[in-house]
A and B are shown apart, each in its own frame.
Chain A
Amino acid sequence: MWVIVDHSGDEVEDVTLELLGQARDLADRLGLPVAAVLLGDDIGGLVPLLGQCGADTVYLAESPLLGAYNPDAYTPLLTDLVRRQQPSIVLWGATDQGRDLAPRVAARLSTGLASNCTRVDLSEDGLLVMTRPVYGGKASCNVVCPQARPQMATLQPGAVPARRPDPDRQAQVIAVDVNISAQSLRLRLEEVIKIPPSDLDVTEAEVIVAGGRGVGSKEGFHLIEQLAHLVGAAVAASRPAVDAGWAPYKRQVGLSGKTVAPRLYIACGISGVNHHVVGMRDSRAVVAIDQDAQAPIFQIADLKIVGDLHEVLPSLIERLRRLRQERGTAEDEEVLRTLANVPGARQVS
């Protein structure tokens, strides 16, 4: 039973830890060991956590050529490793890397793959049953791969809970030779661009500042935009704010807009009717600012601020500006420099 590790270079992605927990559970029922496959450049430091989260062995392939994900390097390496070790099941995260890489490896191995699974389980005869959404999420189907090996699935992040790391567990490390030449890489990475949060689609944003009817006016909405700029967030709006023309439709969150699940959602002047809440209730943390202490948004808020946003936000914006001025890193300076482009920024100071 294998898990292909997703990592950012210095941190293992949550989805991998979830997969390890799931793999441990399935492997124990089948009497198999769990191996994590870790590819990258100078990433040995990630091994202990993989062991603590359920891996018995870690196949470690390190090379400068593996630093950034390149399918031309990762595909032959993994295909070769699977051919030699012959795992019966391989699990991947349905991430940027997994979604690109898993089908390629499956094609080279001529085996089946179920992608974007929400669940994996075992059938009575020990086959991996992979449950995945089809028809745009309107149905789900169970997929099995009876003959070909390995059985492969990519799992959606958050589909299964991660296990608590066990500090006493350790994994045995097996180094993998990397015999890939730089000439064989056809794709060349020029650069990685980070889209400024303000231009980011709300469904992609990690932090969102949203404004609703309580914001009161287009000028009031500039406060939302400034706050979003200072915390590196995308701007969102509830339907009344969009209907009033304070924000474009593409920024609408809720039943008739988009569904989001950021790490932090700051709701300003949004009372929290159901139509809005269904679009954001999966947010990891919610901060709500509203004058009405009875507003339903407070029922799902982790930090409930009862007060006038027109008084709280300018004060918060000023504090954030000062914080960034004092800290003065390159990023802070960039944020402050570009703040001038945000509408209404000058009037407030």
Chain B
Amino acid sequence: MNVVVCVARGVDTSDPLPIRPGQAALEEEGLRHILNPADEYALEEGLRLKDRFPDSDVTAISMGPPESEPVLRRCLALGADKVLLLWDEAFRASDTLTTARILAAAIRQVEFDVVLCGKRASDGDTGQVGAQLAELLGLPAVTSVLQLEVKGGETLVHRRLERGRREVLRCPLPALLAVDEGINRPRYPKLRVLLRSLEAEIPRRGLADLGLRADQVGEAGSCAQVVNLSPPKPITKGLFIPDSSLSPEERWEQIVSGGMEERHGDVIQGPPDAVAERLLQFLTENNFV
């Protein structure tokens, strides 16, 4: 089985972010880049398919600048058979759809049964590329995959829905599956493989290799434009003014508690059975049971 895994270089968002207010991009200096965490789950799922079907071939493909090479080395270290970097200066500032277009052009050139993607990128956080790539490739696709099983030319997947529901879907192969975070526990690299990956040649494809035109990719081909980037604004629920009728001590307590608005609920006191009865009434009246 041939598995293609789409991976990306992501920003380590556990570090403080060098935001320049009003600008559309972060200050590059001081940013730490890693294999996008959501893609690590996709790669692990690909490697598990290889564990089950030993004649499988796992290819990790990334669209990104030459600085993405360490990310692909990481994929090799974890067990990918092949990697491919897609880069051309024309690819810079691609939005999700142009990214999908570039990936699709590369994936059309290889043989595959399954394309795996992560849920979202740690930086852009759109969660769009997987579904868009599937549309461009004309593949059936399932997003938010929490469990997957391949059997006889088709796959049975669990798709995560809200409120604890899961859809069980049958999907013919070839297909694209965008996996959810937590689908598996990614492995650690083996030292021998890791050392080898440090010296591996990372093959690269550009605009012409992929048969794309410059106006289809990068900023020229993108529809969505980021105007500016700013630190998130806190959601304010009205200005908090401490109650002046309270004692200084209580007022201080109110301030340090974040001035949370008190909910004026009913106080119930009394014998346990009466209290329980009132509580039961609350639960049934509000349709909780």
Contacts and interface: CB of A to CB of B under 8 A. Distances in A.
A133 B232 CA distance: 7
A177 interface: no
Interface stretch (A18-26, A80-88, A167-175, A200-208): A200-208
A311 B268 contact: no
Interface stretch (B57-65, B206-214, B270-278): B270-278
Contacts of A115: 126-128
A230 to B, nearest CB: 7
Given A264-B286, A299-B260, A307 B275 contact: yes
Contacts of B283: 231, 320
B51 to A, nearest CB: 25
Interface in A100-137: 100, 102-104, 106-108, 110-116, 129, 132-137
Interface in B275-289: 275-277, 279-280, 282-284, 286, 288-289
A103 B229 contact: no
Interface in B36-66: none
A139 to B, nearest CB: 5
Query: How many interface residues does chain B have, given as a range?
Result: 35 or more
Interface of B: 11, 13, 17, 19, 24, 26, 95-97, 100, 122-132, 134-136, 140-144, 156, 158, 160-172, 222-233, 257-258, 260, 262-263, 265-270, 272-273, 275-277, 279-280, 282-284, 286, 288-289
**Which of B130, B166, B268 has the most CB atoms of chain A within a 10 A radius of its CB?**
B268
A249 B207 CA distance: 49
Interface string A286-303: 110000010010111111
Nearest to A332: B289
Interface residues of A, number: 89
A89 to B, nearest CB: 14
14 contacts: A71-B141, A99-B143, A104-B131, A106-B97, A106-B128, A112-B223, A113-B97, A195-B164, A286-B263, A302-B266, A303-B279, A304-B266, A312-B272, A318-B276
Contacts of B136: 107
B288 A264 contact: yes
Task: Summarize A's interface: helix, strand, loop or mixed.
Answer: mixed
B162 A104 contact: no
Contacts of A29: none
B268 A304 contact: yes
Given A104-B131, A323-B284, A143 B224 contact: yes
Interface stretch (A35-43, A185-193, A336-344): A185-193
Contact of B17 (A139, A197, A278): A139
Nearest to B131: A103
Contacts of B172: 186
Interface in A12-66: none
B125 to A, nearest CB: 5
Interface stretch (A144-152, A211-219, A240-248): A144-152
B173 to A, nearest CB: 10
